Structure 1
Amino acid sequence: AILQGHEEFIRAEISDRVKRGRIEVFVQITSPDETTYNLELNRPLLEAYKRAFNEMNREFDTNEKIKPEFFLQLRDAIIEKTAEPDPDELKGALSKLLDKTLDSLELMRASEGSALANDLNKRLTLIKDYLDRIAQRAPSVVMEYREKLKNRIEAISEELEIDDARLAQEVALFAARCDITEEIVRAGSNLTLFHTYMEMDDAIGRRLDFLVQELNRELNTISSKASDSIISACAVEVKAELEKIREQVQNIE
């Protein structure tokens, strides 16, 4: 009840410095002097007991007097009144407390962020290495397909003359279907952009999350188009690293 009316102020103070995530705030207010008590008689309760006592005297024709210690034994006969703090003083105290708490939070997050950045950079380096392997492997896929197709034709009939033009046409069609050059270039660009975002002081969590999704899409396309076990294996490794990055990115503001 004391904090009623200050919720929006607290929310605004936090939102100004924390852009992403869930923050729960618990505020405990204590009296600066715990030896000072503000006690009051529970007059409605005591009046009710007094009327009941007088009625009992009339009922039994007695003239008993109520002793003060009788009231002290009654539950809730004396109540402690909590003095409401001055709203402006409370707001000022809350502001200072929030600043101090948020400063500590930022220091902690900066320390965690440094460790997280190191881990992300290691994983991004691994992904770059796998993409380089994929790029190096891609031309060999077409050449190997040409040799397999040629050997298959020769195996069917040793006397059948191979039409080089037709063979070249089939190889060209295969090369067009499995061409992953654009996907590799886009994936590399996304990695570069990922590093760029990580150097920014702005809130980048959502942007990094989006880049992870884009990288996953490129890797899915690479894996399906390449028709090569080595490239597919590299793509699987990249996706495994991306999943770990995705989990960590959720903790970035």
Structure 2
Amino acid sequence: MIKSMTGFGKATAEVNNKKISVEIKSLNSKQADMFVRMPSFYKEKELPVRSLINKELERGKIEFNLYVELLAEQSSVNLNKDLFKKYYTELKDVLADLNEATTNENLVSIVAKMPDVYKSEKSELDETEWVEIEKTIKEAIIALDNFRRDEGKSLLEELTLRINNIVSLLAEVEQYDEERITTVKERISNHLKEAVGEQNINNDRFEQELIFYIEKFDVTEEKTRLTTHCNYFLETLNSDISEGKKLGFISQEIGREINTLGSKANHADIQKIVVKMKDELEKIKEQALNIL
């Protein structure tokens, strides 16, 4: 089972006359690269949120957004009634002593502008409220994880197809093995005839040199290792956990064997097959980068 690192999850809830909306988006990244945006009122919970996301989503370029919409009018600014009364009484007494006349409306207006008449109270975060918000965050994470699983199914089909294409191309190499040996033998023989003459060729030495070159161009080990790596790639694809990094490492090993096969091929048709293999492998590498 593989998962894509690309995903989107959203969840909403209503808590204490607030509509809470959580959105999480993720893209591919080698490490966990996280951006968290939430109202300052909840900032004290940022570290637990980051820890939760890291634990559940593991890695990727992750963007977390927590939105809050008030469903009823709420105010954190309150009138300091005792201070208001004190200002009002003292000002009224002063004006009476000075024989200055003023209306109650004017006096109220003046008092309303006095320092600390209005006080702003920062309410504490209700833990019960946060428990509900945390549930909403987990729902959004689950939604994103399901998105990743669905994307992973598409990746599984694509990568399985590409690996099977490489295996099929490798099977085509078999038909040219005998032809390659014959070509090598004829080329060496012709070079010797041109260099020393056919009558001067030491057949025993010729056989020794022929064995040397046949071993040099032999690709049996490369084909065996390439087959093993492809089978291991498919096995990892279908494992119980998503292992994107391991798939990346295996694809590198597949690339090494394909390159060696190409360098030892010494045959035009095999070179064409190798080019096709490399094309399939590049597509595998591109897709593997997006696997969790």
**2:251 and 2:285 in contact (8 A); partners too:** yes
Distance 1:206 1:16 in 2: 17
- Structure 2 match to 1:110: 149
- Partner of residue 214 from structure 2, selected from 168, 172, 175: 175
List per-residue Cα deviations over 1:66-97 (Å, max 9, x = no partner).
55557889xxx97876644313531x123211
The alignment yields a C-alpha RMSD, in angstroms, of 3.3
When residues 143 and 70 of structure 1 are mapped into structure 2, their CA distance, relative to the original with a 3 A threshold, is: farther
- Equivalent AA in structure 2 for residue 103 of structure 1: I
Using the alignment, how far apart are the partners of 1:177 and 1:250 within structure 2? 35
Equivalent-residue separation in structure 1 for 2:178 and 2:212 (angstroms): 14
| Residue matched to 1:39 | 77
Superposition pairs for residues 52-71 of structure 1, below 5 Å?
68=108
Query: Which residue of 1 is the match for residue 10 of structure 2?
Result: none
Matched, 1:234 2:264: no
Kept in 1: contact 2:57–2:145 (CA 8 A):
no
TM-score (norm 2): 0.68
Partner in structure 2 of residue 99 of structure 1: 138
* Corresponding residue number in structure 1 for 2:6: none
**Which sections of structure 2, spanning at least 5 residues, go unmatched?**
1-39, 92-99
Point out where structure 1 has 5 or more consecutive residues left out of the alignment: 55-62
Shift of 1:105: 1.0
After superposition, residues 56-205 of structure 1 pair within 5 angstroms as 68=108, 83-90=123-130, 92-155=131-194, 160-205=199-244
Cα distance in 2, alignment partners of residues 146 and 124 from structure 1: 34
- The structural deviation recorded for 1:231 is 2.2
> SS where residue 78 of structure 2 aligns?
strand
Contact 2:42 2:125 in 1 (8 A): no
- Identity, in percent, stands at 26
Higher RCO, Cα 8 Å, sep 6+: 2
TM-score by length of 1: 0.78
Give 1 or 2: higher strand fraction.
Answer: 2
Q: Distance in 1 between matches of 2:188 and 2:119?
A: 96
Q: Partners in 2 of 1:201 and 1:71 — Cα distance?
A: 71
